[in-house]
Structure 1
Amino acid sequence: MDQLLWFTEVVRNPVFVQGSEIGKVEDAVLRLEESRYPVLTGFLVSVNDVSIFISSDKLEQLSDESISTGQALSEFSTFERRPQEILIERDLLNHHLIWTKSKLRPRLVTAKDVGFARRGSEWRAISIDVATAHRSRWLKAKRSARDHSLVDWLDLVPLVGHVPSARKRLELRSIRKLHPAQLADLLEEASDVEGQEILGALQQDPEFEADVVEELVPARQREAIRHRTDAEVGELLSEMEPDDAVDLLLSLDQGRREGVLAAVPHPARESITQLLNYHPESAGGLMTTDVITLNPGTTIAQACDALRSRESLPHNLWSIFITDGSGHLVGQIPISALISADPEDALGKHAETELPVVRPDSDLSEIAVLMADYNLAALAVVDDGGFLLGSVTVDDVLPRTIAPGWRRRQEALSE
C-alpha cells in the first residue's frame, strides 16, 4: 500500500527558501485529469500577507514537517489559477463529491482530507478521507481511524461548480453509468449549486435527464426547472412518460401551466392533455398512454419485427396489448411469453384474456391489490365500453405504496 502524505499534515507547516523560513503553507493546487489521479502542481505560500506559488517540481523536500526549495524568493510569482485547477482547502475540503462505488448506492460524501503519493516524478492525490451523512458523527480525528473512511480518488467525482475559474465541470460520461434513481437520490441530497451542476451535465442527454427527473420528489422536480424557460420545460415534459409529465405540470403554479403545456411538442401534448382529465391518484391519472397494441392475427415474428422497427419503446415495456380493429381490449401477452413462443403463432393464441382491468376512476388501493393478486407488472385501463385507454405499471404504483422512510431504511441499518 502507498505511503500517504496527508494535506492536513502539510498545511500551515513552515516553508524554507534557501534555508530561510519565509512563510507557511496556505493551500495546495490540484490539476484535475479525466480518469486519472489529479496532479499536485504546487503550493500556495503566505508570505507577508501575499500568496506566492511554489511548483512541486521546484521542491527539494516535501514532508509532514516542512517544505523547502533551493530557488530564490524573487523567482516565485503570485498565484494565477490555470484551467482545470482546484485548491484543496478552498475548493475541495468540506465540499461534496459523488462516491460512485459506495457499498449500497452512489452517494454524496464530504472531503475531509486528501492523501498524496509519489507516482514517478510527480505527486498525485490518490485518496480522500470522507464523511457521509450517516457516518460523520463517528469519524475521529486520530490517524488510526482513517482506514474506515478512505476512498480511492478514482471512485469519486468532484463537484466544482462553485469554483468560477476552475473550467472543469461535471461531465455526463462521469455519471452516465449511474441509474436514474441513483442520480435522483444524489440530487435530493445536493445543495442548489451542486444540483444545478448535476442537472447541467444531464442536459446533454434529454432522454436520460427526463428519466432522472421522473424519479425526483415533486419539490426537487420544481427546483430542477425553476430557472428554465417554458419552452425548455415543455421539451423536458415531451421526453418524460405522460403520467410523470402530468404530475410535474400540475406541481407548477397555475399561472405557468398553460404556457408550459403550449410549449410541449405534439403528440406528447395530446397525451398529457388527455391525462389531465383524471384525478392524479386514480388509474386514469397514473396510467401511461405510451403502450404497444397489435391485433390478434399478428404473428409472433411480425410482432418482434414491429418492436425492432420502432424508433423508441416505452420505458417499462412489460406487455403487448391485443386489441381489435376498433381499439377494444382483447387481451395481453407478456414480453416473456412473446420471446418464448413459436414465431409463426398468432398473438391471439398466447394472449391472456381473463386478466383484470380497471376503469379510469379506480383508486390506488384497488390497483395495488389487483396487481399483487394477479402478479401483474402492467394493468390495462379501459373505458366503460372496453376501449383501451392506457396501462398502469408497477413502477408508478410501488413508490406510492412504500411507507415513508423505507427508501433508505436498509442503508441506515447498515451504517
Structure 2
Amino acid sequence: MERGTLLVAVVFIVGLVIGVPVGYFLMPAKTVEVEVPKVVEKEVPVPALSGTIPIGVLYAATGHIDTAGVAAHIAIEEVNEYVKTLGLDVEFVLVEECSEGQATIALEKFQSMVARGVKVVAGPNWSSQCKAIKDYADEHHIVVFSDGSTSPVLAIADDYIFRLPVTDATQSKALAQAIWETGVRHLVVVQRADAWGDGCYETIKESFEALGGSIDGHIRYDTEKTEFSAEAATLNDIIVSLNEKYGKETVGIGAWSFGEFTAFYSACKEYPALVDALWFGSDGYGRSTTLIEEVPECYKTRFLCMIMGTIKSSRYKAFEEKFVERSGGRLPSTYNTHMYDIIWLLAKAILEAGVYDGAAVKEAIPIVAEQYFGACGWTKLNEYGDRAESNYELYTIELNAAGQPEWVLAATFDSATGKLTWIIPIMD
C-alpha cells in the first residue's frame, strides 16, 4: 500500500471510532461569522442637586440661640438668594437643636438630627461637646463644623470634625508672650475640668515654660459647679504664698472658664490678694457682659483676655449691620462670624460636591475654605481641618467716661510677625 493510501485509511478508521465523517477533514475550512455587540460610550449626566437640603445647627447652650442663631439665619437667607441667582432648584433649610450646656445632651440631639437625614452640622461651640459626638460623626460620615472648639486634643487629621477657630495651641503661644511681657514669671492656673480646659492647661504650660516661666499652682473644678468659695480660698492661699516668696509683680493667675467665671470671681473678690492680682484668660470669659453687669467692681482687677481678632472687611461690615439690626443692637462676636461663615462654607461645599453626602462634602470643604473670604476673614484650614491662622486681641476692663466698667482693647498680636503691640500700658 502506498503512503498516501495508508494515510486515508488511518484517517477513515479514526473517523469511525470518534464518530466524525472522514469528509470533514478533507473539506475546505468553513468561515463562521459571529456578531459581536458594539460597545458605545455615552455620557450619562449626574442628576443635579434639587429640593430641600438640611443643614443642622447644634447650639452649645441656650444663650447661643440669640447670638449664633441670629448669625445662622442671616447666612441661610443669603445662601438661598445665592442659589437662586445660579438658577438652581435648591433650598437650604436649618435644622436646629440645643445641647443645653451638656455633652450627653449634645450627643442625643446630634443623633436625633442624623436620624432625620441631616448629613452636615454647624456647631457645637464647645470642645467637650465636639468630643462627645466625634465617634458617632466619624462612624456615620456626618460632617461637623464647629464655630468655637479650640482644644488641641481634637486636632486630628482626616476625621469629620472641622473647626473654624484656631486651636488653643496657637493662641497659648501668643498669650504666653503677653504674660511674659507683663513681667509675670509664676502662673497659677484655674480651669474647667473638660476637654477644653485640659487642652488649655497643657498648651499654656508648654508655651509659658518654653519662655522660662513656671506653673506654680493648678486648680481644676467640676463644670457643673456654681459656687466657688472653696476654690477661691485655695487660690488665695497659693497667691499669698507666691507673693511672699517671689513678689506680687511676678505672680499671675490664668483662668480658663466659661459663664461660670462670674460666680468664680464673685467668690475671689473677697480676698485682697486676688483682687490685686493680674488675671489672664481667653474668650471663655473675655468681654463677658455678665461679669461687668453683675460684679461692677471687677474693674479694680486687671484682666487680660486674649480673643481671636476679626478683620474689619467690607464682608464683616455687611454682616455686622444685619446682626446689630436683628439682635437688638448687640455687636457680633468672633464666634458669631464663625457661625455665619460656616453656614456659607457648608452650603458651598455641598454645591461643590454635587451630592448631599457627608463623605463627599468632607472632601470638598478644604478646597472651598481655601477659596473663601468671609466675615471672619480667610478661612483656609490646616492638615487637621482647623483654621490655619488668625490674629489676636487682648481685652481688659476699665471705667468709661460715664464711670461704668467696660471691656477695652489693650493689645494686638500679629500671627504673621509674632509681634505684640500694646495699646494700653498695663504695667504703668
Calculate the TM-score normalised by the size of structure 1.
0.23
Larger Rg belongs to: 2
Instruction: Say which structure, 1 or 2, has more relative contact order (CA 8 Å, 6+ apart).
Output: 2
Structure ranking higher in helix proportion: 2
Structure ranking higher in strand proportion: 1
Calculate the TM-score normalised by the size of structure 2.
0.22
